[in-house]
Structure 1
């Protein structure tokens, strides 16, 4: 028993476990293992290397501090860049994968990336369309209201946040554009009151 002065009983023997749990220890005898002959040293595997050839790379690649070298093969599709890249690089250079700070900084890098993409979208000639890209039109004809309630859906907890997340950046951008326009127009009116 935990939290008592009595010494706990040692782990049961293999025979006790085998009698109590059907199939326990079925692979203890190497002769019963289907892969046993391949586990023996000296059997040719067909590999022509001890460690696979290192993928060539130019420039710097991220690796966790607990690893001494890059893995033989790694992805190169998304190179780090900008502020998000600097945050991610700092995470890899400073913290081990076993520390929460490592993962929180990577999440922060993702949030910076998504915010940057939203801002770029707002100033581009083809901004994001919050109506069609949110998928709300896909629910039309599929009982969007009744399908949400009374069915134990997990997303009901954050459903109230969805309009804020989708429409919020647009409202913020509109407010900033309005404030910027107002800041530009007011001084011009003060300098030239006859034009107003």
Structure 2
């Protein structure tokens, strides 16, 4: 299995679906539909009891690069990696989690919302960050202001981004991709609908 860098994960597609999956039996149809639609990087958030089993299931889908989101500490990092996660996303950046992810050698996308967050990450040797929660942290104007003095940083804005607003974010050179939950609508799994939304997302210019 090919090992990807965090930049490599972010370059797989313009959108990383942010997935909250309650039922293990939904894992395979969701993953297959997203990959078929052109979105191979899948962030499964650790917000449900089923999340680790969902990661195990989705990791079996050919072409899927499955990561774990909402990772809060080194124990969750270890559990996610044991379940087959190939990248890690967190809502914030702490020293214990950052050091553990770097030591593990796994692509790590920590959440940041302030200059101090980003500077701490840069000091740790990280250069790619989640901007979260994107819209309620000031939206694109805020990220532009942060990116100007912190020019080596690259971002995946997540939180409140929609199919309509994604193109504005992706037009910025410091934005490598966006995270979004709109590609998997709430409710019963409709694989055809998910695939169609994934195709639209995969076609977004950047």
Query: TM-score range, shorter-chain basis?
Result: under 0.3
TM-score between both structures, scaled by the size of structure 2: 0.19
Instruction: Give the greater-gyration-radius structure (CA).
Output: 1
Higher relative contact order (CA closer than 8 Å, sequence separation 6+): 2
1 or 2, which has the higher helix percentage? 1
